[in-house]
Chains A and B, each alone.
Chain A
Amino acid sequence: MTNNETGALARFGVTDRDIEQALGRVKVSAVDYADLYFEYCQSESVSMEEGIVKRATKSVGQGVGVRATAGEKTGFAYSDELTAKDLNIAADTARYIANSVQGPAPVPVTHRPALARNLYPHDRATIEVATRDRVTLLNAIDAEARRYDPRIKNVMAAYNTEYKVMLVATSDGLMVGDIQPLSRLQVTCIAEENGNRQVGTFGGGGRIGLEYFQNDQRYLHFAREAAREAILNLSAVDAPAGVMPVVLGGGWPGILLHEAIGHGLEADFNRKKTSAFSTLMGKKVASEVCTIVDDGTLPFRRGSLNVDDEGTPTSRTVLIEKGILRGYITDKLNARLMGIPVTGNGRRESYQSVVLPRMTNTFMLAGESDPQDIIKSVKKGLYAVSFGGGQVDITNGKFVFSASEAYLIEDGKITRPVKGATLIGSGPDILKQVSMVGHDLKLDEGIGTCGKEGQSVPVGVGLPTIRIDEITVGGTKASS
């Protein structure tokens, strides 16, 4: 056992015997697979508004989730008490789906691999930053944003951290633990001029510590970017409405892939044949310049994990290769039912939630076009560089994502900024409209949170500059 796991087990105060016995109770012959997921999570948030750091919150939680799967069925129970008795009650509840008396013998948990790699090695101290250090940083952000432009009237900023320790023990005899830190710094500015008020936001983070924000005074860059977007929006004109070519900038606009493709390729929807992609494996769903992967193995990224929440090491999965649909995102349950490989994408929000196949970092590989040429190629269209959220209807494939910083392209040149607008398209069709892919792949700053069945997990996205020949833009101004 590695130090990592010893530490984790000590934290939970549970013995090997308790774990093996609980697994034995739940893993009866009708149960295909069972696991116990222990979690300790401490999160802290310090926030500033109106120039003063006035709010600080801290949350500590721990518990265990016990899960059994039998065929397509899942039985699940959780507890915030960690005694042997509570483990056994949860195991008995999870076993309900199997209509069986408790299992006869403990399940030995003998396979205890050390983590093959650590994508985010940190001391706890670098994550759990002293409150006064957070205060210093937030005060400097306020001053920098107001210095950027006197029209900035309010600055709101928050520094949030999470320190999560997990340990999963499975009926396959596997036990593995991980420490998963997460930090995020978010800045929002409100600008005002002659009664016109506008907002700008910028944020970033990952499985990183305070030094990430301090390097090259990155936190001041965040402040300036939020201020810049707010000031820019003061002069934004109405966005156009209708079908037109759209150029997406690199980085966070990769939310397009997350909504249009990613969710539709999660294995659960495809096993149930409720996804618009259910019948498209091996078929052409994008233009040849598109290759898209989901990769949970990138160091320090917000969407990365050493192992997923079922103890499977994360991997790089090719979803679309030169336009052809190649792979699904899987957890153990769906991989088993579909007879396809486990990709290490079994994730859960906490011990209180079940495992679902979820994305990690989803991005398009770089192409060969010069980003300037891509913009020049558009006679009349939209150039969108920053977005808020997005959403998809898995079944009919329709997805949206909403621009928060966008410009008109007129005769191949970026001209005026436009107000935010929602873009809508169809997942299985939209990437066929991608005619140019830039050589400038960029990953996002580390702000993404994905929601599915009420569970939130941190994710990443990435995109080079791309040209979409036709997509519907939901502005208010009829095209002339």
Chain B
Amino acid sequence: MIRMIGEQDYTTVAQDLLTRASKQGATAADVMVADGETLSVQVRMGAVDRLTKAREKRLGLRVFFGQRSASASTSDFSRDSLERFVQETCALAQAVVEDPVSGLPEPGQFATELPELHIHDSTKLQTDEQIALALRAERAAFAADPRITNSEGGECDSSSGRIILANSHGFLGHYANSSFSLSVSPIASDAAGMQRDYWYGVNRSFAKLESPEAIGQEATRRTVRKLGARKAATGRVPVIFDPEVAGSLLSHLCSALSGYALYKGASFLIGQLGQQIAPDFVTIYDDGRMPGGLGTRPFDGEGLPTRKQAVVERGRLTSYLLDTYSGKKLGLPSTGNAARSIGESPSAGPTNFYMVPGTTRPEDILASVKQGLYVTDLIGFGINMVTGDYSRGASGFWIENGELAYPVEEITIASNLKQMYSAIETIGSDLVFRGRIASPTVKISEMMVAGN
């Protein structure tokens, strides 16, 4: 909704900032510019609830004065403001202490070819089309079961954006991406009370988004089965994580493998590179070039090429997630995992991060458990990344003789992540990408459940 500025203009703005920083005495610099537009539609109980429309832009500058460095960001691109912005960023850099490891990557390391990765779909949805999709998803959720009596609503979002990265070593890269998502959150009720769950689809290509009916029906299936949930007994049992919550175990792994957590001594996986951290049937990849992936990008937050690499191979830890800085601190090269928020120095994180599926069907994993817990939801932040200690609120189903017996809630599951990765007993065959991090069903041989 603001005036359009062409891609060419942003490239010029970026290069102009590099020139100005150099004139101020900066020995090196990089600039990242992002712009994008979003249309978000929320409906509730069959009517429009909220419409949000916006177009925004932001620019981040990082400057180096020798080994001193600072970063800054602004949304004000006017010439006068940018001049002051460069001056202030340079002054900030000169006020901090020298860090011998700081700096841009070496020339020659940067991405040179930018392959087609299918992460941008130029489909433009009209407001009314998005309203119709969200209404259909909510309607399908209500139609699927009479116990759906209320709703937190349906939501359909579309967004597209561009990233431009330029630095004083001469790298200049840009790419565009898009995202389409549809979700619905129905509420079921019976005499015992209310339960809520939700289901969603998200894709870079509009054509590949699941149908509103499929999303609505799955949301209802997940919601009504929670009705009548009770507490479970305290004790040690096998725990099966459904794919949605199994993905959180991979997120924690990413946090522990971030170069920044490792060199600060704030990870439970320090010194584990090359060690066996899981059984030999566990293999985990990070793939920044997966076509159409939600974590796919041609270059990382420093301009280095992304790639596909095994992070855990047959149970052995084969790679950390590193950018240039954290890599140097650990004596290792960058793995092309620099993540970047506009106006911040890089951090290290995953691209598309997933566990290779096994051959066991999820229902067969269930059948292997006599007494245990099937987890579908986790809440809270009870994870200590330094020690790996794990204690979170959970809900799901109690398993008796290989079948889901009844829904459970108001319980916790606890262990230590290091032990949990080692105690992976079975991996399901059901891997579906629904985000940047994806996992099949995972069975952990034993955890402490606290309930009654």
Q: Which of B36-78 contact A (CB under 8 A)?
A: 44, 47-58, 69-76
Q: Which of A126-185 contact B (CB under 8 A)?
A: 130-132, 135, 153-154, 156
A99 to chain B, nearest CB (A): 10
Q: A58-B92, A60-B85, A400-B379 are in contact. Are A241 and B266 (CB under 8 A)?
A: no
Q: Does A276 lie at the interface of the complex (its beta carbon under 8 Å from any beta carbon of B)?
A: yes
- Check B386 against A199 for contact (C-beta < 8 Å): yes
Which A residues lie within 8 Å of B392 (CB)?
400, 422, 474
Question: Which of B85, B99, B226, B235 has most chain A Cβ within 10 Å?
Answer: B99
A237-272 to B contact mask, C-beta < 8 Å, 1/0 = 001011100000000000000000000000000001
Closest to A428 in B: B193
- Check B3 against A81 for contact (C-beta < 8 Å): yes
Of B95, B226, B384, B414, the contact of A241 (CB 8 Å cutoff): B414
Q: Does B191 lie at the interface of the complex (its beta carbon under 8 Å from any beta carbon of A)?
A: no
- Check A274 against B75 for contact (C-beta < 8 Å): no
Of A96, A273, A473, the contact of B127 (CB 8 Å cutoff): A96
Compute how far the CA of A421 lies from the CA of B391 in the bound complex, rounded to whole angstroms: 6
Q: Does B292 lie at the interface of the complex (its beta carbon under 8 Å from any beta carbon of A)?
A: no
Compute how far the CA of A426 lies from the CA of B451 in the bound complex, rounded to whole angstroms: 12
Closest to B450 in A: A241
- Check B391 against A131 for contact (C-beta < 8 Å): no
B99 to chain A, nearest CB (A): 4
- Check B265 against A192 for contact (C-beta < 8 Å): yes
- Check B414 against A475 for contact (C-beta < 8 Å): yes
Q: Does A381 lie at the interface of the complex (its beta carbon under 8 Å from any beta carbon of B)?
A: no
Which A residues lie within 8 Å of B193 (CB)?
276, 396
Task: Flag the segment in A48-56, A101-109, A317-325 that touches B.
Answer: A48-56
B324 to chain A, nearest CB (A): 14
Q: How many residues of A contact B (CB 8 A)?
A: 83
B359-399 to A contact mask, C-beta < 8 Å, 1/0 = 00000000000000000010111101011010111010000
- Check B234 against A391 for contact (C-beta < 8 Å): no
Of B53, B93, B152, B270, the contact of A56 (CB 8 Å cutoff): B93
- Check A393 against B99 for contact (C-beta < 8 Å): no
Which A residues lie within 8 Å of B414 (CB)?
239, 241, 421-422, 474-476
B327 to chain A, nearest CB (A): 16
Of A80, A395, A419, A472, the contact of B389 (CB 8 Å cutoff): A419
Task: Flag the segment in B137-145, B162-170, B294-302, B404-412 that touches A.
Answer: B404-412
- Check B48 against A59 for contact (C-beta < 8 Å): no
Closest to B55 in A: A79
Of B74, B150, B381, the contact of A391 (CB 8 Å cutoff): B381
Q: Does B15 lie at the interface of the complex (its beta carbon under 8 Å from any beta carbon of A)?
A: no
Which B residues lie within 8 Å of A420 (CB)?
382, 384, 389, 391
Closest to A59 in B: B73
A174 to chain B, nearest CB (A): 23
Which B residues lie within 8 Å of A192 (CB)?
265
Compute how far the CA of A81 lies from the CA of B1 in the bound complex, rounded to whole angstroms: 9
Closest to A90 in B: B1
Which B residues lie within 8 Å of A398 (CB)?
379, 393, 395, 409-410
Of B54, B379, B395, the contact of A77 (CB 8 Å cutoff): B54
A392 to chain B, nearest CB (A): 8
Q: Does A313 lie at the interface of the complex (its beta carbon under 8 Å from any beta carbon of B)?
A: no
Closest to A154 in B: B265
Compute how far the CA of A63 lies from the CA of B55 in the bound complex, rounded to whole angstroms: 11
Compute how far the CA of A400 lies from the CA of B379 in the bound complex, rounded to whole angstroms: 7
Which A residues lie within 8 Å of B44 (CB)?
72, 272
Q: Does A286 lie at the interface of the complex (its beta carbon under 8 Å from any beta carbon of B)?
A: no
B232 to chain A, nearest CB (A): 10
Q: Which of A62-91 contact B (CB under 8 A)?
A: 62-63, 72-81, 86, 89-90
Q: Does A61 lie at the interface of the complex (its beta carbon under 8 Å from any beta carbon of B)?
A: yes
Q: How many residues of B contact A (CB 8 A)?
A: 82
Q: Does B196 lie at the interface of the complex (its beta carbon under 8 Å from any beta carbon of A)?
A: yes
Q: Does A305 lie at the interface of the complex (its beta carbon under 8 Å from any beta carbon of B)?
A: no
Q: A53-B96, A72-B44, A473-B450 are in contact. Are A77 and B382 (CB under 8 A)?
A: no
A342 to chain B, nearest CB (A): 20
Q: Does B207 lie at the interface of the complex (its beta carbon under 8 Å from any beta carbon of A)?
A: no
- Check A76 against B56 for contact (C-beta < 8 Å): no
Q: Does A97 lie at the interface of the complex (its beta carbon under 8 Å from any beta carbon of B)?
A: yes
- Check B76 against A388 for contact (C-beta < 8 Å): no
- Check A131 against B95 for contact (C-beta < 8 Å): yes
Q: Does A402 lie at the interface of the complex (its beta carbon under 8 Å from any beta carbon of B)?
A: yes
Q: Does A432 lie at the interface of the complex (its beta carbon under 8 Å from any beta carbon of B)?
A: no
Decide if the interface of chain A is mainly helix, strand, loop or mixed.
strand
Q: Does B103 lie at the interface of the complex (its beta carbon under 8 Å from any beta carbon of A)?
A: no
- Check B194 against A396 for contact (C-beta < 8 Å): yes
Q: A53-B96, A422-B391, A478-B234 are in contact. Are A96 and B380 (CB under 8 A)?
A: no
Which B residues lie within 8 Å of A156 (CB)?
264, 266
Closest to B102 in A: A54
Which A residues lie within 8 Å of B8 (CB)?
none
Q: A60-B76, A472-B412 are in contact. Are A352 and B54 (CB under 8 A)?
A: yes
Which B residues lie within 8 Å of A477 (CB)?
448
A348-360 to B contact mask, C-beta < 8 Å, 1/0 = 0000101000000
Question: Which of B194, B235, B344 has most chain A Cβ within 10 Å?
Answer: B194
Compute how far the CA of A199 lies from the CA of B389 in the bound complex, rounded to whole angstroms: 12
Which A residues lie within 8 Å of B196 (CB)?
274, 393-396
- Check B452 against A243 for contact (C-beta < 8 Å): yes
Q: A58-B88, A61-B75, A73-B50 are in contact. Are A396 and B229 (CB under 8 A)?
A: yes
Closest to B234 in A: A242
Q: Does A390 lie at the interface of the complex (its beta carbon under 8 Å from any beta carbon of B)?
A: yes
Q: A54-B97, A56-B70, A478-B236 are in contact. Are A63 and B75 (CB under 8 A)?
A: yes
Q: A56-B70, A73-B50, A272-B150 are in contact. Are A396 and B195 (CB under 8 A)?
A: yes
Closest to A353 in B: B52
Q: Does A383 lie at the interface of the complex (its beta carbon under 8 Å from any beta carbon of B)?
A: no
A31 to chain B, nearest CB (A): 13
6 shortest A-B CB distances, which residue pairs?
Answer: A474-B412, A400-B380, A400-B393, A131-B95, A422-B382, A395-B196
Residues on B facing A (Cβ under 8 Å): 1-3, 44, 47-58, 69-76, 85, 88-89, 92-93, 95-99, 102, 127, 150, 152, 187, 193-196, 226, 229, 231, 234-236, 264-266, 270, 343-345, 377, 379-382, 384, 386-387, 389, 391-393, 395, 409-416, 448-452
Known: A190-B264, A241-B234, A476-B414. 18 other contacts (CB 8 A): A53-B97, A56-B96, A60-B74, A60-B76, A60-B85, A61-B75, A72-B44, A77-B52, A80-B2, A80-B76, A93-B1, A199-B387, A243-B234, A396-B409, A398-B409, A399-B379, A420-B382, A476-B448
Q: Can you sample 16 A-B contacts with CB below 8 Å?
A: A54-B96, A55-B69, A57-B345, A58-B73, A58-B88, A62-B75, A77-B52, A90-B1, A153-B265, A272-B44, A396-B194, A396-B196, A396-B226, A396-B409, A400-B412, A472-B410
